[in-house]
């Protein structure tokens, strides 16, 4: 305030903070409001006497904050944003070279679907009313190397190189359970100067030159749609009406039909099963769309 007085208060869940001022403090005074919040740039604004000395007993003054933007270190490139949920590991399509490193900046909230509390859920660091044990933290993995908790502003690296995957596993786990009870997502940006191939989830062996979709029949197009639906269910952990062994036999049968080496996708590229399912059904979907166009 003009007299050097300082008042502080925290905002409620709506972002509102209340201050009570005496007539003497309001008399021809200029008040400076300074607002700050995690991941936002500090903002200050002066409230003039003309606003303060109106007849209303309670006055509302709004200050808009600008979200901080990640700073790119020299030589780094920024990738994203990636929307990461608790449904499973998700490939970024970024191949980090052997001995390379990366860092992330993540925001957002993931919570139980029945949790309606304003402060419920958890942020990328695992903080929140229901997560004081940090059971759910933004994490990364590359190939078969150990899972790293990267949180909101962490980093990681790789000794062998591979595709960077992001997910939210239970603390200490190297896999993600099929927990459909959690909703929401994290928005993640990746920064690295060691990406040697931005694959955008298209990492399988190349399509053979003689592989064409132009001659597909209506039956083949319909069959492809059934195969795509099956693989999507596999990728999202949805229950299938068959044993797990039979499911993987079917996956390999479909993969062979489209010249896709499922085991090489997992072992040579070091990707998770669900990511390889996704790559395969995206490949089939592309061929199916080409077949439909070519039949018109």
| Residue ending a domain, choose from 170, 198, 226 | 198
Q: In this predicted model, what pLDDT tens digit does every residue of 47-75 receive, in sequence order? A: 777 766 777 777 766 766 655 555 556 78
pLDDT tops 90 at residue 105:
yes
Q: Do 165 and 262 share a domain, yes or no?
A: no
pLDDT tops 50 at residue 262:
yes
Q: What is the mean pLDDT of the chain?
A: 75
Domain count along the chain: 3
Helices assigned H by DSSP within the chain:
23-26, 49-52, 218-235, 244-257, 262-267, 273-294
Q: Do 28 and 105 share a domain, yes or no?
A: no
- Looking at the chain, the whole-number percentage of residues with pLDDT higher than 90 is 11
pTM for the whole structure: 0.49
Q: Do 101 and 178 share a domain, yes or no?
A: yes
| Residue ending a domain, choose from 11, 39, 68 | 68
Cβ count near 26 (within 10 Å): 14
Q: Do 2 and 49 share a domain, yes or no?
A: yes
Q: What is the CATH number of the domain that holds 172?
A: 2.60.120.430
What are the contacts of 124-128 at 24+ separation with CB within 8 A?
124/150, 124/151, 124/152, 124/186, 124/188, 125/151, 125/152, 126/151, 126/171
| The pairing of beta strand 155-157 with beta strand 195-198 | unpaired
Q: Do 81 and 194 share a domain, yes or no?
A: yes
Q: Let me know if residue 251 belongs to a domain.
A: yes
Q: Do 165 and 266 share a domain, yes or no?
A: no
CA distance 46 to 27: 15
Domain range holding 145? Answer: 77-198
Q: Let me know if residue 207 belongs to a domain.
A: no
Here the tokens at position 68 are 């901080």
């Amino acid at each position: 305030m003009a007299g050097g007085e300082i008042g502080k208060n925290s905002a409620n869940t709506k972002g509102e903070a209340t201050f009570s001022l005496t007539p003497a403090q309001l008399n021809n005074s200029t008040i400076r409001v300074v607002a700050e919040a995690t991941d936002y740039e500090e903002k200050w604004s002066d409230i003039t006497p003309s606003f303060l000395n109106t007849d209303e007993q309670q006055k509302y003054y709004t200050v808009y904050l600008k979200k901080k933007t990640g700073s790119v270190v020299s030589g780094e490139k920024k990738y994203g944003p990636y929307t990461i949920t608790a449904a499973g590991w998700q490939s970024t399509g970024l191949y980090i070279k052997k001995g390379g490193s990366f860092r992330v900046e993540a925001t957002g909230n993931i919570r139980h679907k029945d949790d309606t509390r304003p402060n419920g859920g958890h942020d990328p660091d695992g903080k929140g009313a229901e997560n004081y044990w940090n059971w759910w933290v933004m994490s990364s993995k590359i190939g078969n190397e150990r899972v790293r908790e990267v949180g909101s502003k962490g980093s990681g690296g790789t000794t062998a190189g591979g595709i960077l995957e992001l997910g939210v596993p239970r603390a200490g786990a190297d896999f993600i359970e099929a927990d459909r009870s959690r909703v929401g997502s994290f928005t993640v940006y990746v920064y690295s100067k060691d990406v040697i191939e931005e694959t955008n989830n298209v990492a399988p062996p190349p399509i053979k030159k003689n592989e064409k979709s132009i001659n597909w029949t209506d039956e083949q197009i319909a069959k492809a749609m059934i195969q795509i639906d099956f693989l999507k269910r596999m990728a999202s952990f949805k229950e299938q009406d068959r044993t797990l062994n039979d499911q993987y036999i079917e996956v390999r049968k479909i993969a062979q039909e489209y010249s896709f080496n499922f085991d090489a996708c997992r072992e040579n590229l070091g990707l998770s099963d669900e990511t390889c399912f996704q790559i395969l059904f995206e490949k089939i979907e592309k061929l199916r769309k080409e077949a439909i166009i070519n039949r018109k």
